[in-house]
Each structure stands twice: as C-alpha cells, then as structure tokens.
Amino acid sequence: MCIGQVGNLLPHVTLSANLAQHLMPAWGLSAAEGGLMASGYAFGYMLAVPVLTTLTDRIDARIVLLCGSIVSGLATVAFGVLAEGFWSGTIIWSIAGLGFAGAYMPGLKALTDRLPAGDMSRAVTLYTSSFSVGVGLSFLVAQVLADRWGWRTAFYVTGIGPIAMVIACLLIEGRRPAPKAGRLLNFKPVFANREALGYIFGYGAHCFELYGVRTWLVGFWTFVVAHQGAPAWLTPVLMSFCFAVISMPASILGNEAALKFGRHRAITFVMMASACVAIVIGLNASAPAWLLALLLMIYGLTVPADSGALTSGMSTAAVAEHRGATLALHSTVGFGLSALGAWGTGVALDAAGGPQSARGWLLAFIVLAIGILMGPVALLWSRKARLEKQPS
C-alpha cells in the first residue's frame, strides 16, 4: 500500500514544481492566479472526498481506491495534452485532485480495515509518512523532465505513476463492510466526537502550512538563486526534493514523540516551532543562500512532524462504525485549508511586491506561520471540551 501510494503521489506537485519557472511565465499569470490554479487540486479533492471516503463505510474501500487512482493518472496526462492557460489548467487540475480524493483517504481506510486489532498508530504513520517520499519524487521527476523536455512531458510521465496503486489494489484481498443504513453523508456522529474534531481541525492547520510552502518552495528558491546566488549544485530541484523526502523520518519521529510525551503536547510543540522557523525564514529572505538552505531543511523537519501524530490520533479517536465518515471530514478540512494555503500565500506575495520581492516572501511566510498556529488553538479547544465531559 505504501509503494502504491508513492506511485499515486507522483503527479501530486507536478504543477507546483513547474509553476514559477514554466507555467506562470508561459501563461502570464500573477502569483495569486498561480496559487489559485495550484489550489484547484486541493479544491477538487475537498469537493469529492466527503462522498468517496464516506462511501468506504458501505463498499470495499479498495474499489474507491482503484477508481480514484485511474482518474488521477488520466487527468494528469490530460493536463499535459490539453491545458493552455489559467482556466483550462485549473479545471483539469481540479479533476486530478478529485481523483486523488478517491486515492488517499480511501487507501488509508483500505489499510486500516485489513490491520489486526490493536494499536494501529505506527502503521498509519508509515502510510502517511510515505506521502513525503512520493511528493519528493514528484518534485524531482517533474522538474528534471520539464527542464530537459518541457513541462508537458513532466505531466505525461508523472501521470503514469498511479498504475502502481492499481496493481496494489488488484493484489490485496477484497473485503465487504457490514451493511449500513442511514444517509451517506451523515457527519453528525463525527461532530459529536470532540476528541476527533480537535485532530481534524489541527490537521487543517497543518495542511494550510504544508500545501502553502510546497506550492511556492520552488518559486522561493528561484528568488534566492536570482538575488543572493547559490552554489551551482544547490538547485531548486535538489532543495525541493530534500525538503519533501526528510518529511518521512520527521513524521515518524513526531509520532514516536507523541506516543512518549503525549499527543497534544508533542503536536503543539511542533506547530509552535514550525511557526517560529517560518517567521525566521521570512525575516531573512535576503540572507546568504547557505543560511536559507539550512533554515529550509529545519522547516522541512518541523512542517511534517505533526502529520502522522494528527492522523493516527484522529484514526484512534474515531468510532469504528463511523471511521469512513471521520476520515472524510478529516480530509475535507485538510484539503480545503490546503487550497486556502496555496492561494492565500500567492495573494500575500502579490500584496507585498511579488515573487521577486523580499517583502513579498516575508509576508508569505508570516501567513504560513499564522495558519499553523491555529492548530494548537484547535487542540486546546478539544482538550477543554473533553475535560468538561469528565466527571468531577
């Protein structure tokens, strides 16, 4: 399942990886337009995931996963063939996100449905942290192919990646969930679960920051190279790849810290540390390249370190018969705020001078810091609600 997910993620940042260097110049897009086009992926995901993930409480999640993977791959290839500007690019990329809505959380549901009884925290964390490997490969493959053979080739090739999950779906055993009555989109039991809601809203803050920085990471390092200079080997390709790949051990270690020191305490510490690093990067946007590279690698550790702990916390807190609906709300909130993070960061860039302005990048990183600081607020709210329910 983890290998299949890496394949499903190969298209994931193909647009973001080529946004600043290829698509924005070719189509004459502003940062806000570029961010909005990139956020189309998260927006399409957000619209589809409530139905597709909740559906896994009624049919085998493997079926949803198979169909979503196929749509994701075909839409990515279609972007390379058909996209000609802002509107066509946004529409097609939104369809790719819609396909991924059937590929990520339904994949997690397919996995958890087949795990033995007991603590699933480490298995869930391994699955969620393999997300980072897929994103790293997406950054690497998309940029290398675009630089050598054009950005359309990058979409053609990365669109093949989901075949890995199609194969995985055909290899795992089928499983039919117990018959369930009632409405499909019934989130009332999830909203009644305050503990799970705290993790869900915290995940939204995490996704706002994560998608915002992934959308503009290549653009930021392009700014650094143009204004401060950098060694020839320290390219946007290498920086984005390293930033993504170190997320996997960071997510695993973050979950281990949560198991040892307490989930709320560990997540809150990581989120506050990440906000501080973001502000330091913004304040030093004109600093030497070596210092910014070091800060970005630290940021690459703090941004994902809460991911596994948040998702495994949500999965553990979810009531078994409503796990699909809980996963659906978790993903809807997460990717809805992902769309806001990509677009909001682009708006901040335009408002303060654009992608070639140090002031623009300062405001962009401040926006990311504000977004992640909403996570500890959500966890505090959840904790207080749980304590109020406990008998005195």
Mean pLDDT, range 313-339, rounded to an integer: 84
Percent of the chain at pLDDT > 70 equals: 94
Instruction: Give how far Cα 47 sits from Cα of 86, 182, 336, Å.
Output: 20, 21, 9
Average pLDDT, the chain: 89
Does residue 181 belong to any structural domain of this protein? Answer: no
The predicted-structure confidence for 26-46, as pLDDT tens digits, reads as follows 999 999 999 999 999 999 998
pLDDT in tens, 60-115: 889 999 999 999 999 999 999 999 999 999 999 999 999 999 998 888 888 877 77
Long-range contacts of 189-195 (CB under 8 A, 24+ apart): 189/319, 189/322, 189/325, 190/318, 190/322, 190/325, 190/326, 190/329, 193/317, 193/318, 193/319, 193/322, 193/326, 194/382, 194/385, 194/386, 194/389, 195/317, 195/382, 195/386
> Using the 8-state DSSP alphabet, how is residue 185 labeled?
S
Confidence of residue 57 (pLDDT cuts 50, 70, 90): confident
Confidence bin at 392 (pLDDT 50/70/90): very low
- 126 — pLDDT class (breaks 50, 70, 90): confident
pLDDT of residue 389: 54
Task: Look at residue 118 and tell me whether its pLDDT is greater than 70.
Answer: no
pLDDT of residue 128: 73
Q: Are 11 and 98 in contact (CB under 8 A)?
A: no
Indicate whether 171 pLDDT > 60: yes
Three-state SS string over 305-336 comes to CCHHHHHHHHHHHCCHHHHHHHHHHHHHHHHH
Q: Tokens representing 392?
A: 């005195």
Closest CA to 179 of 300, 97, 58: 58
- Cα 42 from Cα 15, distance rounded (Å): 12
Show the domain range for 6.
2-176+186-389
Q: Is residue 41 part of a domain?
A: yes
- The pLDDT tens digits of the residues spanning 286-311 come to 999 999 999 999 999 999 999 888 98
Give the CATH number of the domain where residue 281 resides: 1.20.1250.20
- Name the one residue in this structure whose structure tokens are 């949803």: 64
Band the pLDDT of 153: cuts 50, 70, 90: very high
Q: Indicate if the pLDDT at residue 19 is higher than 70.
A: yes
d(CA 245, CA 139): 10
Alpha carbon distance 369, 281 (integer Å)? 11
**Is residue 279 scored above 70 in pLDDT?**
yes
Asked if residue 185 has pLDDT above 70, the reply is no
**Cα 1 from chain centre:** 18
Tell me if 89 sits within 8 A of 37, measured CB to CB.
Answer: yes
The alpha-helical segments, DSSP class H, found in the chain are: 2-8, 14-18, 24-27, 31-54, 61-82, 86-101, 105-112, 121-149, 151-158, 163-171, 188-191, 194-227, 236-245, 247-261, 263-283, 289-302, 307-317, 323-351, 358-372, 374-389
Asked whether residue 160 carries a pLDDT value surpassing 90, the answer given is: yes
Amino acid letter, residue 173: E
Distance of CA 202 to the CA centre of its chain: 13
User: For residue 382, what pLDDT band results from cuts at 50, 70 and 90?
Assistant: confident
Q: Which of 42-56, 78-92, 331-345 has the highest mean pLDDT?
A: 78-92
In the prediction, which pLDDT does 331 show?
83
Tokens 């290998």 -> residue: 3
| Burial label, 17 (beta-carbon count in 10 A; 0-12, 13-18, 19+) | buried
CA angle 25, 30, 32 (to 5 degrees): 135
10 Å CB burial of residue 45 (0-12, 13-18, 19+) is: buried
Question: Is 344 part of any domain?
Answer: yes
* Amino acid (1-letter code) at residue 124: V
| CA distances in angstroms from 138 to 305, 308, 371, listed in the order given | 20, 20, 25
- In sequence order, the 6+-apart residues with CB closer than 8 A to the CB of 108 are 124, 127, 128, 311, 315, 327
272 vs 116, residue with greater confidence:
272
Domain contains 267: yes
pLDDT, tens only, 214-271 = 999 999 999 999 988 878 888 888 999 999 888 878 888 888 898 889 889 999 999 9
Token pair 């970005």 is at which residue? Answer: 296
Task: Answer yes or no: is 63 within a domain.
Answer: yes
The structural domain count of the chain equals 1
Cα–Cα dist 13/204, whole Å: 19
Give the per-residue pLDDT at 9: 94
